[in-house]
Structure 1
Amino acid sequence: MTEPSGRERVEADAAARGLDIEIVDRVGATSLEHAAELLGIDPSAIVKTLVVKHKDGSYLFALIPGDRQISWPKLRAVVGVNKLSLPDETRALEATGYSRGTITPLGSTTPWPVYADASMVGKRVSLGAGERDISLFVDADQLLAAFDATVTDITEPL
């Protein structure tokens, strides 16, 4: 029996959570701005899923709008720790089952806690969909509710 693809894992998890997602092609995107152009949306509607490592070895997902960057002091304060870091690509793959550029909390091999920037509330957003050259669209509020995400200010402008 073969392992499900990243897309299949995303679709199965979305269905199990009652989330309505739309998966679309974004073949050949060379940057976040280029992906936004291909998808016909503003870069702020693309949400980057960052894998963040605790010093205890566990992880969390940080959902960051494309026009913003993570604010380490804000995220550390919300999580209640004094040290967080971004793991290298190999560790991120081991923690989620997804390679960089395809990471999403949907279908992750381990269901890590989700922290999301409040600026994505009330929007239709695009995220990685588990495989290269595809993205998914989802209602941010439904996504955040499905993961019981901690929603607060965890970013700053680029």
Structure 2
Amino acid sequence: MSGPAVPAVEAAGIAHRVLRHGPVGSVAEAAAAQGMEVRDLVKTLVVRRADDQYVFVLVPGDRVISWPKLRALFGVNRLSMPDAATAKQATGYERGTITPFGSSTAWPVIADDRLRGRTIGLGAGERGVALQVAADEAGKALDATFADVTDPEPARS
């Protein structure tokens, strides 16, 4: 590993596994490659709160951000997702590899309540590599706020 994610997890003293699973095309493929359930694979999303102010939102693989819940949590009327270039500038990571660990800026972390008590798979800062960690331990190290901020993934027709 050449990026800052694994050293950041190690520096935090978090028990972890690094999994090199190679290229995947979907959350379901990534979960299968890591031997995990889709709900335990975490999508780390970067959300813009204001100009040059972001937050990481940890979303279970089988769920999506609930914008009304997230806006209510922050007490704001507007939140947005930055484009890929802006997300990389804010975190140091490309989309699909983003993790709060080792980010170029330590933005606040919101983790969906459903992750509590679970072992989760997170991006490790590079494609085809994941970190498996205890969600509660990671949340504590990241000073994360656990809250109900997601909805079920919409059914596909």
- 1:74 equivalenced with 2:69 (yes/no): yes
**1:142 is paired with a residue of what secondary structure?**
helix
Q: 1:130 aligns with which of 110, 125, 128?
A: 125
- 1:103 equivalenced with 2:98 (yes/no): yes
- 1:10 equivalenced with 2:5 (yes/no): yes
In the alignment, what sits opposite 1:49? 44
Measured against aligned partners, the alpha-carbon deviations of 1:1-39 in whole angstroms (never above 9, x if no partner) come to: xxx932xx1122112211112111121211111111111
CA distance in 2, matches of 1:117, 1:110: 21
Deviates more, 1:94-103 or 1:73-82: 73-82
In the alignment, what sits opposite 1:25? 20
Listed as ranges, the gaps of 5+ residues in structure 1 are none
> What is the Cα deviation at residue 148 of structure 1?
1.3
In the alignment, what sits opposite 1:140? 135
CA distance in 2, matches of 1:5, 1:54: 30
Listed as ranges, the gaps of 5+ residues in structure 2 are none
Alignment: residue pair count: 153
CA RMSD of aligned residues (A): 1.1
Structure 1: which 4+ aligned runs deviate by more than 3 Å?
Answer: none
8 Å Cα contact 2:92-2:104 kept in structure 1: yes
Q: What fraction of aligned residue pairs are identical, expressed as a percent?
A: 48
Measured against aligned partners, the alpha-carbon deviations of 1:31-86 in whole angstroms (never above 9, x if no partner) come to: 11111111111100100000000133300000000000000010111122111100
In the alignment, what sits opposite 1:34? 29
**1:85 is paired with a residue of what secondary structure?**
coil
**Aligned residue identity for 2:95:** R
CA distance in 2, matches of 1:117, 1:64: 6
CA distance in 2, matches of 1:21, 1:79: 31
**2:94 is paired with a residue of what secondary structure?**
coil
> What is the Cα deviation at residue 138 of structure 1?
0.2
- 1:149 equivalenced with 2:144 (yes/no): yes
**Aligned residue identity for 1:50:** L
In the alignment, what sits opposite 2:60? 65
CA distance in 2, matches of 1:112, 1:5: 22
**Aligned residue identity for 1:53:** R
